[in-house]
Amino acid sequence: MKPEQAFDAPSTLSDAQVISRVRAGERALFEILMRRYNQRLYRTVRAIVRNEGDVEDVMQQAYVNAFLHLDQFEERSQFSTWLTRIAVNESFARLRRSRAGHAALDADDEGPHVTAGQPDPERQAYARELRSLIEQAIDALPAGYDGYCAKPVEASQLLRAVREVMLAS
C-alpha cells in the first residue's frame, strides 16, 4: 500500500478505489460499499420480494455474492449497477423458491393448522393485512421521502454476516 493511501478517508474514496483496495487484500473496506448502497438495495429488494422477512436475507446474500465475485466485476458499468443487478437476481430467485415451496405446501395442505405457540388465525390475518397496508403506503411515497420511512436493514447485522463469510473465504 502506498503511504498516501493509508491516509485516505474512507468516505472520500471512489468505488473504483475501494474495489481496488479490497481486491488487494483490504477486505474490511468492503463495508464502505455496503454502507454506501444499503438504502438503495433495501428499496430495490423490497419492491420485488414485498416480504419484509425476506428482504434482509436477500440483501445479505447479495452482499456476500458481490464480495465473493468481486474479481468478476469488470467495471464496464458502475459498481452500484452491478450490485443492484446481483440483488435483483437474488430477489427473483427467492420468489421462485418461495412459489415452488408454496405450491408443494398447497398440494399437501388439508386445512389450517394452528399450534399452541401461534396467535389465533384472526390475529394472523389482521397482522398480514396491516403489514400489507403499511408496505403499500411506503411504496406510494414520493421519491423525496425515501429516507424517512423506508427502514434500512440494520447495517451492523449485515456487516457481521458478511464478515463471517469474508473470514471463512
Does any domain span residue 146? no
Does any domain span residue 139? no
Residue 167 has pLDDT above 70, yes or no: no
Residue type, 86: I
Dihedral sign of CA atoms 140, 142, 147, 148 in order: negative
Instruction: Tell me what percent of the residues of the chain surpass a pLDDT of 70.
Output: 54
Does any domain span residue 129? no
What CATH number corresponds to the domain at position 10? 1.10.1740.10
Task: Report the pLDDT value the prediction gives residue 127, as an integer from 0 to 100.
Answer: 63
Task: Report the pLDDT value the prediction gives residue 45, as an integer from 0 to 100.
Answer: 94
Q: Using alpha carbons, list the distances in angstroms from residue 130 to 44, 53, 123.
A: 22, 15, 10
Residue 152 CB neighbour total at 10 angstroms: 16
Domain count, the chain: 1
Residue 85 CB neighbour total at 10 angstroms: 14
Does residue 158 or residue 35 have the better pLDDT?
Answer: 35
Average pLDDT, the chain: 75
Query: Model confidence over 102-134: pLDDT tens digits?
Result: 555 445 555 444 444 556 677 667 666 666 666
Task: Report the pLDDT value the prediction gives residue 111, as an integer from 0 to 100.
Answer: 47
Query: Model confidence over 127-162: pLDDT tens digits?
Result: 666 666 666 666 666 665 544 444 555 555 556 666
Does any domain span residue 44? yes
Burial (0-12, 13-18, 19+ Cβ within 10 Å), 83: buried
Does any domain span residue 87? yes
Dihedral sign of CA atoms 46, 52, 55, 60 in order: positive
Task: Report the pLDDT value the prediction gives residue 50, as an integer from 0 to 100.
Answer: 85
Q: What is the mean pLDDT of residues 64-87?
A: 94
Can you spell out the DSSP letters for 51-86? -HHHHHHHHHHHHHHHHHTGGG--SSS-HHHHHHHH
Residue 32 has pLDDT above 60, yes or no: yes
Dihedral sign of CA atoms 80, 82, 85, 89 in order: negative
Task: Report the pLDDT value the prediction gives residue 41, as an integer from 0 to 100.
Answer: 93
- What residues make up the domain containing 78? 3-94+152-168
Q: Crossing angle for the helix pair 79-108 and 15-23, nearest 10 degrees?
A: 70
Reported as a pLDDT band with limits 50, 70 and 90, residue 99 is confident
Q: CA-to-CA distance for 9 and 63, rounded, in angstroms?
A: 22
Does any domain span residue 130? no
Residue type, 25: G
Does any domain span residue 133? no
Does any domain span residue 140? no
